[in-house]
Structure 1
Amino acid sequence: MAEILANSLRFHVQRLPGSGRSAADTGGLPVAVFLHGLVVDNLSSFYCPLAVPAAQAGHDVVLYDQRGHGRTERTAHGYDRATSVQDLAALLAVLGLGRRPVHLIGNSYGGTLALHTALARPDLVAGLVLLEPPLSGGWVENMLDTLSVAALSLEGSHVPEELATLRLRKAARLTATADALLNSTTLIDDIAANRSFTPADYTRLRCPALVVCGEHSELVPGARELARHAPRCTVRILPGRGHDVLQDSTGALRSAVLGWLDAAARQPAVVA
């Protein structure tokens, strides 16, 4: 574990060096940077399903808790996509990776942030892996409604204290974090202010991208819309699965993502 100051914020970061390859072999390869989802999510969700296997396969890995999540410092503001890009760029610079291409692997809303980063800073991103990314405006509106309801239910609630009394410390901590993010920051308003992606945005995506969705996920149409317009995007559908492919499809997901990373490692990294 490490605490790193970047963009005037203390971030919780973990680095996993790729095994089985020399520094000379990995020095020019893209680093796999993982972006988790919203509110109760943090870097730990990637650790066993994808991050450790990726490092064991020889890929250098960076995981970090995003602003306000996990063990990273919480601020009252700054949960918009533009600030998230600034946070990531600053973090990579502090880690000495500012000149090294990265593959962004984003889960759920982390996939949205990864795509926005590739569009806003194509010089940073060599490739994308998007796991169940919410791309359509309708799905994002539903997510915002869900977050707003959760905020109301947690405001003034004694649930975290009750969970702690029952010695359910992890659940108590996650509930307290959710309450603080939803009721003491601009997270909901910042997400609502982000504009939706358009086909014109997708046509500007020049790096290769893999989108993975569950067969029964309502996000499949958005993934296919991205693939129709982005010149180097492919979609992988996991049979019998819904939105939470990161937890529900460990074997199939690992095969798809590691296969993509291994194929990308054999190609020269090209960034804009």
Structure 2
Amino acid sequence: MENAAVQVKGNIDSVDQLKITGSATQTAYEAYQQSIEDITSQENGLYGKYQEVKGNDTALAAVEAKLEVLREQRHDRTKAYIIAHPESPVSVSMIADMAVVGEYAPLDSLYRKLTPEAQQTATGKRLATRLAVLKKSAIGQPMIDFTQADVNGKPVRLSDYKGKYVLLDFWASWCGPCRAENPNVLKAYNQFKDKNFTVVGVSLDDKADKWKEAIEKDGMPWMQVSDLKGFRNEVAQQYGIQAIPFSFLIDPQGIIVAKELRGAALHAKLAEILK
């Protein structure tokens, strides 16, 4: 949105088809979306295959591998756009979107390519604050230690698990993708728990009964903690969590060595380091 006479036309039952005119920034955004339509259509087709390959690990890994290639292509085009348009609000918005789950170093590099004027916009300032949080939880940084209560109200400290590889897993009972990922985490836990590996779950629930019920239903035997403040969970805020499921792999020395490990990627990383 910009200070211009913007018109929005369309039907309320199909908002994805709205026609927005009068804003040069919106026109630029739509042009970018059109430029990646070939990638978007392939991604949508692959997302539709998830149900087909459910239960087939080999087929699922193949779908995830194809999606990862497309994500890399999308990222490359986005990066090229930002570098070519360092003054554009679209570029600032793109980096902000990437910063929801992105890694600090490449995001900071892109942020520094923006013009000073773009960095000083309201979104640009919020982005700078977000990057400062991501820097503290970046790969290669020491884990951010914390203490939270388990399901019985007993305080648990993350540093008590130093000496082991720990998957710090952020999830919630109400999060569909989290619940879908839980069996994969359970499989990894059972496969590697005897190789100096464990899981610590941090729930972004705000209702104790729903949280405990999900733990039991999904059969998660590892340590679970929460302050039952939902997305205001203090640990989640320290680690910069804005979307779940999200995980950090921490080595025995307490250093973050990987992030956002899901599906086959989790098993591949654990197999690589826990030989």
- TM-score, structure 1 normalization: 0.28
RCO comparison, higher one (Cα < 8 Å, 6+) = 1
- TM-score, structure 2 normalization: 0.28
